[in-house]
Amino acid sequence: MVQPPSSYRGRLAPSPTGYLHLGHARTFWLAAERARAAGGTVILRNDDLDAARFRLDFVDAMYEDLRWLGLTWSEGPDVGGPHAPYKQRERLPIYRAALAQLHAAGLIFPCTHTRKDVLEAIGAPHEGAAHDDEPVYPASFRPPAGAPLPPLGDKVSVNWRFRVPDGEELVFDDKRFGPQRAVAGRDFGDFLVWRKDDAPSYQLSCAVDDAAMRITEVVRGADLIRSTFRQLLLLRALGLPAPDYYHCPLMLDDAGVRLAKRHDALSLRTLRAQGVTPAEIIAKFSSEP
Ligand code: GLU
């Protein structure tokens, strides 16, 4: 009997800011595996908004490395699809419309404080200290609730933040880690939605795209669990449906350190040049917790 097409839509969302390392590749492989097991569709989205670290050769390398590993996608920048464009840089009007919606609803505010101001205000160690996440924005920096907002202007030249509902407990059921909870204003604070260099933040672009591309399950690294709460708030504020979330345990190197792109020794390219095969890499992925 012919199976009806599955409604599962998953995505691979690499950022072309370095060569893919083993940790990222494992997340993408898991995302592809979950889509395959569900008989669903895989979308490739090029998360190319980081202007400072973007490089065109990383874009080509990222497609090539993923294909070398054996991953495929049926929608993406290189193959097209019903939700094109699949490059975030080409989707700016979509993000800008979402920003205007948040502005009209009074859910964001302009912020001229620097990261240093924020760290000082909360008594946190200065730049240079390892921050895994954005520091909690001090409530004393907020304009009063309901204060009239300045217009966004044609070109945004100030940071805009989302005002989180202080004290609200947010919950989601992670498909890997089970129930997750965070309290807005305590575990994370008012977060960036648009930057003063006139570019959307990761939180905004990701939430908007996951909804626009009809993603049913987001598979990504466990380092983004806190971001999921922010994105759930944005989706709710924008009246958009939330996908399911499956966060992958992070891969550690032999010394127990999290793999990061700067571990060049563990980039797929380096491993490939050393003669490691895709089958060997996938065997390693399958044996990870
Ligand atoms: N482009 C992001 C990254 O590479 C994706 C994050 C996500 O999956 O939401 O970290």
In a domain, 245, yes or no: no
Cβ-contact 220, 212 below 8 angstroms: no
Give the pLDDT score at 13: 98
Distances (CA, A) of 271 to 20, 64, 69, 81, 187: 11, 14, 11, 32, 38
Decide whether any atom of ligand 1 lies within 6 Å of the 47 Cβ. Answer: yes
Residue 245 buriedness (CB in 10 A; 0-12 / 13-18 / 19+): buried
Q: Which of 58, 202, 248 best tests ligand 1's pocket when mutated (most atoms within 8 Å of CB)?
A: 202
In a domain, 225, yes or no: no
Q: Are residues 95 and 174 in the same domain?
A: yes
Helix axes 202-212, 225-238, angle to 10 degrees: 60
In a domain, 246, yes or no: no
For the beta sheet containing 199-200, the strands, ordered from the edge strand earlier in sequence to the opposite edge, are 108-111, 159-162, 191-195, 199-200
Q: Which amino acid, one-letter code, is at 84? A: A
Distance 220 CA to ligand 1 centre (A): 7
In a domain, 276, yes or no: yes
Give the pLDDT score at 129: 46
β pairing state of 191-195 and 159-162: antiparallel
Q: What stretches of 140-289 adopt beta strand conformation (E)?
A: 159-162, 169-174, 178-183, 191-195, 199-200, 217-221, 244-248
In a domain, 221, yes or no: no
Q: Are residues 33 and 58 in the same domain?
A: yes
How many domains is the chain partitioned into structurally?
A: 2
Distance, in Å, from the CA atom of 105 to the CA atom of 198, rounded to the nearest integer, reads 20
Distance, in Å, from the CA atom of 212 to the CA atom of 34, rounded to the nearest integer, reads 20
Q: Are residues 76 and 125 in the same domain?
A: no
In a domain, 219, yes or no: no
Secondary structure of 12-23 as H, E, C letters: ECCCCCCCCEHH
Decide whether any atom of ligand 1 lies within 6 Å of the 49 Cβ. Answer: no
Among 161, 188, 212, the domain boundary falls at 212
Give the pLDDT score at 127: 53
Q: Are residues 115 and 76 in the same domain?
A: no
Give the pLDDT score at 262: 61
Give the pLDDT score at 261: 58
Distance 114 CA to ligand 1 centre (A): 24
Residues in the chain: 289
Residue whose Cα lies nearest atom 5 of ligand 1: it is 13
Q: Are residues 63 and 106 in the same domain?
A: no
Distance, in Å, from the CA atom of 180 to the CA atom of 229, rounded to the nearest integer, reads 9
User: What ligand 1 atom has the least distance to the C-alpha of 47?
Assistant: 1
Written as six digits, the tokens of 233 are 């708030």
Give the pLDDT score at 265: 72
Residue 231 buriedness (CB in 10 A; 0-12 / 13-18 / 19+): buried
In a domain, 126, yes or no: yes
In a domain, 223, yes or no: no
Q: Are residues 96 and 200 in the same domain?
A: yes
- What's 143's domain CATH number? 3.40.50.620
Q: Are residues 196 and 98 in the same domain?
A: yes
Among 212, 240, 271, the domain boundary falls at 212
Q: Are residues 61 and 120 in the same domain?
A: no
Q: Are residues 122 and 198 in the same domain?
A: yes
Decide whether any atom of ligand 1 lies within 6 Å of the 224 Cβ. Answer: yes
Q: Are residues 86 and 115 in the same domain?
A: no
Written as six digits, the tokens of 82 are 């019903």
User: What is the distance, to the nearest Å, from the Cα of residue 9 to the centroid of all Cα atoms in its chain?
Assistant: 16
Distance, in Å, from the CA atom of 288 to the CA atom of 26, rounded to the nearest integer, reads 9
Give the pLDDT score at 202: 97
Give the pLDDT score at 207: 98
Q: Are residues 116 and 51 in the same domain?
A: no
Among 155, 188, 212, the domain boundary falls at 212
CA angle 54, 131, 229 (to 5 degrees): 85
User: What ligand 1 atom has the least distance to the C-alpha of 219?
Assistant: 8
Q: Which residues of the chain have pLDDT under 50?
A: 128-130
Nearby residues of 236 by Cβ (< 8 Å), 6 or more positions away: 242
Range of the domain at 113: 91-212
Nearby residues of 57 by Cβ (< 8 Å), 6 or more positions away: none
Q: Are residues 108 and 79 in the same domain?
A: no
